[in-house]
Amino acid sequence: MTNIVILTGAGISAESGLGTFRDEGGLWAQHRIEDVATPEGFARNPKLVHDFYNARRAQAAEAVPNSAHLALAELEAKLDGQMLIVTQNVDSLHEKAGSVSVLHMHGRLNGALCASCDHRWEAPLRMTPSDACPACGATSTRPDVVWFGEIPYHMDQIAEALSKADVFVSIGTSGEVYPAANFVAEADHFGAHTIELNLEPSAGASRFAECRFGPASEIVPTWVQEELAR
Ligand code: APR
């Protein structure tokens, strides 16, 4: 039975109306990473950071999965659990599309975290610096997302899945951020067939055995149909 690990990035959600980071006019052209995506930035100005994530959470709440998300959910259902999505995205479009086995290595917009007691809960649409943790009451709540300089989530599970993958597919990511950018090398080391499905060649395109370029809403359903026909 084919064991498939899929890595997704902001590009898979672009056609659902959610901005990417490094494309022309992307999020990192509009905001300074050090202000909105680092622990230091949050300590300096928690309201600025909450406002940044509140805006993204509201946008993500309205977003609808596109045909790429839906095709992956269809493939997972047919593969009877032999498939894992590791997403760098903090939106929940994979889950909205019906995917079940999803690991958010950079956390989730819908998650809230208490920096004092590590309690986690479902975030309200708008978070503010004066929100109190439901468990310990401290007003040190933050979005449960992984910032630069912090350790991504689920790395042990991801390493285990990559070591057993027959196929590794990277979708909609620039390959600029580690450790995700090295997953292709890990999967290749364990003998997986590696595929990049992206709008244009990523920084790591040459490390993939196979590359297909185009909008995810087109090339992902095509690839999924080929997999289902195997
Ligand atoms: N279809 C397929 N790919 C697309 C599409 C599309 N419609 N639109 C854009 N892309 C591709 C771009 O060509 C680019 O390679 O998606 C990629 C988006 O790259 P980034 O904006 O860098 O996003 P991502 O790779 O997810 O960033 C990784 O960086 O800032 C951190 O935590 C953040 O998770 C994020 C991480």
CATH number of residue 40's parent domain: 3.30.1600.10
- Which tens digits make up the pLDDT trace of 80-92? 889 999 999 999 9
* 57 and 129 inside one domain: yes
The per-residue pLDDT for 226 is 97
Confidence tier at 1 by pLDDT (50, 70, 90): low
From 22, 200, 217, the mutation candidate for ligand 1 (largest count of ligand atoms within 8 A of CB) is: 22
Residue 201's CB is within 10 A of a number of other CB atoms, namely 14
| Overall number of domains in the chain | 2
CA distances from 11 to 81, 156, 182, 205 (A): 24, 25, 18, 15
* 165 and 93 inside one domain: yes
* 221 and 160 inside one domain: yes
Residue with tokens 């819908």: 110
Residue 33 alpha carbon, nearest atom of ligand 1: 30
CB of 200 within 6 A of ligand 1: the answer is yes
CB of 79 within 6 A of ligand 1: the answer is no
Residue 218's CB is within 10 A of a number of other CB atoms, namely 14
* 209 and 114 inside one domain: no
CB of 51 within 6 A of ligand 1: the answer is no
* 126 and 183 inside one domain: no
* 167 and 222 inside one domain: yes
Residues whose CB falls within 8 Å of the CB of residue 43, separated by 6 or more in sequence, listed in order: none
* 157 and 200 inside one domain: yes
Question: Considering 145, 166, 193, which residue would you say is the last residue of a domain?
Answer: 145
- Which tens digits make up the pLDDT trace of 156-202? 999 999 999 999 999 999 999 999 999 999 999 999 999 999 999 99
- Which tens digits make up the pLDDT trace of 33-53? 999 999 999 999 999 999 999
Domain that holds residue 225: 1-18+64-106+152-230
Question: Considering 145, 173, 206, which residue would you say is the last residue of a domain?
Answer: 145
* 158 and 201 inside one domain: yes
- Computed over every residue of the chain, the mean pLDDT equals 97
Q: How many A from CA of 13 to the centre of ligand 1? A: 9
- Percent residues over pLDDT 70 in the chain: 100
Which protein residue has the closest C-alpha to ligand 1 atom 14?
A: 174
Question: Considering 97, 123, 145, which residue would you say is the last residue of a domain?
Answer: 145
- Say which amino acid occupies 168: F
CB 9 within 8 A of CB 85: no
Looking up residue 218, the CATH number of its domain turns out to be 3.40.50.1220
* 87 and 196 inside one domain: yes
Per residue in 160-190, is it b (16+ CB within 10 Å) or e — as a string? ebbeebebbbbbbbbbebeebbebbebbbee
Sign of CA dihedral 16, 145, 133, 48: negative
When pLDDT is averaged across residues 1-11 and rounded to a whole number, the result is: 92
Residue 89 alpha carbon, nearest atom of ligand 1: 34
* 160 and 98 inside one domain: yes
* 138 and 183 inside one domain: no
* 11 and 44 inside one domain: no
Pairing mode, strands 141-145 and 120-122: unpaired
The per-residue pLDDT for 92 is 98
The per-residue pLDDT for 2 is 76
Q: Is this prediction's pTM over 0.95?
A: yes
- Which tens digits make up the pLDDT trace of 53-82? 999 999 999 999 999 999 999 999 999 889
Which protein residue has the closest C-alpha to ligand 1 atom 10?
A: 11
The per-residue pLDDT for 80 is 81
